[in-house]
Structures are given as structure tokens and as C-alpha cells.
Structure 1
């Protein structure tokens, strides 16, 4: 989403409690701006996670620069949409981990078979 990144991971420990983590880096702005974003995220989490969250999972909201001045109602709608996508995704069908390009890490012809 433009204002944040949402990560959700089921813990698998049998505890149905939902946990929330919020992070906003210094790239976003000074302490006042970062704390304002975190307050907004906390309010959204208290409001939406009990209804739309995943039981027994950790939810992490990572603030983005576009979220600083974003309308609160728009952020709420985006979080609802993000949580809805997670709930409708089949189990185990998350985004695959990123892999570095094979071309950058493939051995070159000079390194293969050359005496050391």
C-alpha cells in the first residue's frame, strides 16, 4: 500500500492472540513525524485488527513516506484492503522470497577451471 507495508506471519504456537509491531524509520522524518505516524497506526490497529486480523499471528506495520500526510480515512481503507487480501489468500500462498539475480552471482569463465 502507498502509506505502509503490512507483514503478517502466523506464529503456530496455539495462542490465538494477535500481536502488532509498528516501525517507522528515520528516513520518513524527525521524531515528531515518526511518533505521529505510529500513533495513527496504533489507532487503526486497535480498530481493525479485532475484526479483520489473523488470529494467532504477528502483524507488522512499516510506515512509508507517502503515509505521513495521508488522509486517515484513506489509511483505514487501505489497511482494511490489505487485511482482506491476506485473509482471502490460500494458506502458504504468500509472496515468494526475493532472490538475487543469477547473472550477478554466476561464476565467470575465468574463475571456472582456472588454476589458483
Structure 2
């Protein structure tokens, strides 16, 4: 059953994820934490530092991360968890989209394993 996905917007929410579990893949870094509240929402945030490239490269990387999350999180994410997807230099924007999706599924398996 697909779950509702909401976007993280506030800095403290991102920082809480930064202190939690993380799993790196070739295409991205995924941070995840169980919120511990009774809210069944899955929340997700996206970030790309200037190391990823200029504004065009960062926006492309973030668009691709958003699409990966849109396709895969409702089915594969856990309710009550927050996720932050972080773009990596050169890989997120250039990597084959199917490989990017496999990277994300691998990271979720490791984080929830």
C-alpha cells in the first residue's frame, strides 16, 4: 500500500536526519531516521552542496533525486521515517536513471536492514 510522502522544509528537520543513520551509494548519500511519533507520514528532503557543481548541475541533480523519491518512497519507505537524499559530485546528475533508482533501493535496504 503506498504511503503519503511530504517534503522536509525546516533546517532542524534536516539536522536531525544528519545525526541519524546514513548510507552512501555511487549516486547519492541517503540519511534516514525514525521520528518516533505516531504520524504515519514519510517525509523526505533533498540537498546538493556547491561541490556538486554550478546552479544548473545542482538543480538537475535535485530534480533527479526528487523523481527517484517520488517513484520509490511511497512503496519502499517506512511510515514515520524521515529521509534526506544528498546529491554527490558528478554522479547524481550524470548517472543512468535506472542505476540511480537501484542505488536508492540499495540504500533503503541497508538502512532498514
User: For the superposition of Structure 1 and Structure 2, which TM-score range results when normalised by the shorter chain?
Assistant: 0.7 to 0.9
Q: Note the C-alpha offset of 1:72.
A: 0.6
Structure that is richer in helix per residue? 2
Any gaps of 5 or more consecutive residues in structure 2? 1-24
Task: Pick one of 32, 37, 40 that aligns with 2:61.
Answer: 37
Q: Note the C-alpha offset of 1:58.
A: 0.6
Q: CA RMSD in A?
A: 0.9
How many residue pairs get aligned? The number is: 88
Q: In structure 2, what is the equivalent of residue 82 of structure 1?
A: 107
Please give the secondary structure, in 2, of the residue aligned with 1:54. Answer: coil
Task: Pick one of 38, 48, 51 that aligns with 2:72.
Answer: 48
| In structure 2, distance between residues paired with 1:54 and 1:2 | 23
The higher radius of gyration belongs to 1
- Summarize deviations over 1:1-24 as a string: whole Å, max 9, x none: 011100100111110100001000
| In structure 2, distance between residues paired with 1:22 and 1:41 | 7
Please, what TM-score do these two structures have when normalized by structure 2?
A: 0.74
**Displaced runs of 4 or more, over 4 A:** none
Given that 2:64 and 2:92 are in contact with CA atoms closer than 8 Å, whether structure 1 keeps it comes out as no
Structure that is richer in strand per residue? 2
Any gaps of 5 or more consecutive residues in structure 1? 89-116
